[in-house]
Each structure stands twice: as structure tokens, then as C-alpha cells.
Structure 1
């Protein structure tokens, strides 16, 4: 499941890259910096990525998730830092949701 989720996130980032001036380097997949610190995404690009990922998770896994919720925003370590942290966060959400 984790590999599938990571692939979805990488695919989503690559889709978003087409609209960005400064692309996220997905060469090292899970270590790719997304948001905060040295991340390549500003807040608008992060919101766009969240929408793309939520739609792809629904389409490919049949699970409705909300990534930008109170839990995500209040965590000490943001789940949006890297592709790896985002994939891990999505995995925990998907495992909690009933599948279609």
C-alpha cells in the first residue's frame, strides 16, 4: 500500500510541476522536499497538490480523505515536508477509512 501511495504522490507532484516555475525534484522520491524550510512549494502550490492527491487517492484507491485537516495542521512535524512524510500520513488516513 505504501508504494502505491508514494507513486500517487510522486505522480501528483509531477503533474503540479507542469504549472510551477521552480519544480520539485522527484528524483529521490520520498526525500523530495515539498513545503516548509527548503521546500519548493508555496502555500498556493501546496493547496493545489493537496487537491490533486485527494482526487487521485479517491480515483485509484476508492477512499475519500481530507489531507488539510486540524490534525495535519497541528502536528509538531508537518506531514507536508517531503513526499515521504506525506505518503506516510496518507497511509495512516487510508488505513482508517472504510474502502468502497
Structure 2
């Protein structure tokens, strides 16, 4: 059987992946999921859609799916991420942008 990994990572793909993971995480843990998730969905802070523990689960699952589907090994919750003035975990869109920037760096190093 041929392993068909996706080769090109696009922002829409990452946003969709994150929203799918959040929907699955909330469905498993609370029996509900927000009706509308998108790039502007808040992930941390007062109006967050998910708890801090759920964010950790989302990040871990996102790392796993990126490796499985795109052969990308990324450490999303690294020191650089948490020390940024503007957290990449504030919204789905910012997290997607952060994933793409790390993926770009990884491909430059390869």
C-alpha cells in the first residue's frame, strides 16, 4: 500500500484541521461543540471557546496530525511560542499562521 502524505500545507487546511480537532475535543469532553468555528475563534482568555486543558489537547493532537498527514514534526508549544508578545494561541487563525511559519522554517532546514 502506498503511503499518500499530503505535500503542500495551506492555511485553510490548517484552520480546518484545528476546527475539526476542537469540535472532536469538545464533543468528547462536553457533549457539545460550538456552532461556528473559524480563524477568528478565540482560544485563550476571557472569551475562549475552550479551556486551557482542552487547548493542550488540541495542540498535541494538531502536532500528531501534522506529522501523520504532512510528515511535519513540529513543536508548537515551545519556548518561542510562549515568550512571544502576541501569543500564537490567541485564535485559530493565529495558531494556523504559527504552524505555517514553523513548517516553512522546517522546510528551509531540510
TM-score, scaled to structure 1: 0.86
Matched with 1:31 is 40
* Counterpart Cα distance in 2 of 1:48 and 1:56: 12
Gaps of 5+ in 2: 1-9
Q: Kindly tell me the number of residue pairs found equivalent between the two proteins.
A: 100
Runs of 4+ in 1 over 2 A off after TM superposition: 19-26, 40-43
The Cα shift of 1:76 comes to: 0.9
* Counterpart Cα distance in 2 of 1:26 and 1:90: 24
* Counterpart Cα distance in 1 of 2:94 and 2:31: 21
Q: Is the 8 A contact 2:41 2:49 kept in 1?
A: no
CA distance change for structure 1 residues 94 and 82 in 2, over 3 Å: closer, same or farther? same
Gaps of 5+ in 1: none
Larger radius of gyration: 2
Q: Is the 8 A contact 2:43 2:49 kept in 1?
A: yes
Root mean square deviation of aligned Cα? 2.1
Q: Comparing 5-14 with 23-32, which one deviates more in the overlay?
A: 23-32
